Amino acid sequence: MGFRFWWFVWVVVVMNGMMVGVGGSTGSAMASVMRPEMGFAMWSFVMRLGSMLMLDGYPFYANGWNSYWLMVAGSEESTRPRVDEILRDGAALGLTVCRTWAFNDGSYQALQMSPGSYDEQVFQALDYVIYQAEQNGVRLLLTLVNNWEDYGGKAQYVTWAKAEGENVEDADDFFTNSKCREYYKNHVKAVLTRVNTITQMEYRDDPTIFGWELINEPQCTSDPSGEKLKAWVGEMAMYVKSLDRKHLLTVGTEGFYASDSEGRSSSNPSGYFGTVGTDFIRDHDSPWIDFATAHAYPDAWLSPDTSVDEKLEFFHNWVEAHTEDAQKLLRMPLLFTEFGLSDKKPGFSEDKRDAFYSVVYDQVYQSAQNNQGALAGAFQWQLLPPEMSHWDDGYAIIPTSSSSTCNIISLQSQRLNSLYKPVCGIDMGSYMLEGVYENMTSPHRHIIPNLFEEGFNYIN
């Protein structure tokens, strides 16, 4: 680690506001965004520096959640208050990033009704979601398509292509068929260049958006080698970056290792998961991808007779393996963007769920404590308002409940906030710096009750 690295750290911390581009970047990112009607500068963009996420010269660790349904709920006046409620409640828990869908293809309340044809009412609902997130001090990780048939997904793209005379049959043709790839790129462009009808800002210019996710939980079982998916990721990641160099980008994987992976394939739930056409290492090994993702659902992945304690052990090893591989092999940040323990499975108790959350929360905190680890945050699945309790898939948390898990979530927010400090004396390894941004802080920072002592006693 030489002079060049420390010069960049000095730039980030001291000379906030200069605009630079490195690592082959063809453009520079916005420093911050001014809302004319408010009269003051708003957020900066979260960026990547080596294996860390950075914001305003400080390491950024995300305590996040999933509410995938925000756009759908926002599309009807009668259900729109649920968007306000869950963003407000998530912020009250100190959560900083919400992962949600920026797609709904050809299904009920579809955003994209047919290729390139959009329902303006639903698009305005997404406008509203982004606006309300900013108002509550929450950033959004927006997913662009689904691997599964829910909300259309890759199968809907294949159906559209087949109707146009394309020789496609299997949903996995989504990754290779030229028409499907064209449809997807058109959707990406429609979303990224959308002008928000409330803020009058293109999505690609809005720092409320934390980043983009190419696809939710991609698998390509027709090609166990993983080559089809890797090629698709490379093409689409480069295309997204050609439109938007300001936001972070990830793939959206569950974190499974191919059987011949360079990473820790022995940590897979079973041998089957090494044959689903995805690999944690190869899929993220791209100059256009900024951070890696993994999910964790031992209830669904392990055999039905697996005890809760065994699920906890699996989860600990799963997080540890991906953190080590993200740090040493990928040298990029890692986010666990979905995790949960179902209350519909035998042996469940709230104490067990609290312990399950603490597995990943503790490892995120340890990563943050020494500013050396790649594990940059975790997003629980999922938060629901009481009015949507019938949407509970077994993993949902209702923030207004007296659940002890809500306390665990809030305590994690507190202890990450307590570590908010500038970079200094850190071995970053390799790095990628897209831009340096003004040292502006959110006008909507949240004050959380001081429960440090209780929190550290419980979680550590």
Q: What is the span of the domain harbouring residue 99?
A: 3-459
**Owner of token pair 């997913």:** 143
Catalytic member of 85, 134, 213, 217 = 217
Looking at the structure of the chain, the number of domains it has is 1
**Confidence at residue 31, expressed as pLDDT on a 0 to 100 scale:** 44
**Confidence at residue 422, expressed as pLDDT on a 0 to 100 scale:** 65
Higher pLDDT, 5 or 192: 192
**Confidence at residue 97, expressed as pLDDT on a 0 to 100 scale:** 98
Dump pLDDT digits (tens) for 54-95.
999 899 999 999 999 999 999 999 999 999 999 999 999 999
- Residue 47 predicted with pLDDT over 50: yes
Q: CATH no. for residue 362?
A: 3.20.20.80
**Confidence at residue 225, expressed as pLDDT on a 0 to 100 scale:** 96
d(CA 281, CA 233): 13
Q: Element (H or E) spanning 7, and its range?
A: helix 3-14
Please state, in angstroms and as integers, the Cα–Cα distance from residue 167 to each residue in 159, 171, 364, following that order: 11, 12, 46
Nearest to 17 by CA among 58, 56, 60: 56
Higher pLDDT, 30 or 315: 315
d(CA 118, CA 103): 10
Percent of the chain with pLDDT over 70: 82
User: Which alpha helices (DSSP H) does 63-142 contain, by range?
Assistant: 70-74, 81-92, 120-135
- Residue 221 predicted with pLDDT over 80: yes
Dump pLDDT digits (tens) for 329-387.
999 999 999 999 999 999 999 999 999 999 999 999 999 997 778 999 999 999 999 99
Which range is least confidently modeled, 103-107, 311-315, 423-427? 423-427
Q: What is the arithmetic mean of pLDDT over 177-204? A: 98
- Residue 459 predicted with pLDDT over 60: no
Dump pLDDT digits (tens) for 234-270.
999 999 999 999 999 999 999 999 999 999 999 999 9
Q: What is the arithmetic mean of pLDDT over 277-285? A: 98
Cβ neighbours, 10 Å, residue 270: 9
Mean pLDDT, all residues of the chain: 86
Higher pLDDT, 43 or 336: 336
Q: In the chain, helix, strand, coil percent, each to 5?
A: 40, 15, 45
Is 453 among the catalytic positions?
Answer: no
**Confidence at residue 95, expressed as pLDDT on a 0 to 100 scale:** 98
- Residue 452 predicted with pLDDT over 50: no
203 confidence band (pLDDT: 50, 70, 90): very high
**Confidence at residue 402, expressed as pLDDT on a 0 to 100 scale:** 73
Buried b (16+ CB within 10 A) or exposed e, 108-122: ebbbbeebeebeeeb
Which range is least confidently modeled, 4-8, 191-195, 273-277, 290-294? 4-8
Catalytic member of 85, 254, 338, 434 = 338
pTM: 0.86
Cβ neighbours, 10 Å, residue 14: 12
Is 217 among the catalytic positions?
Answer: yes
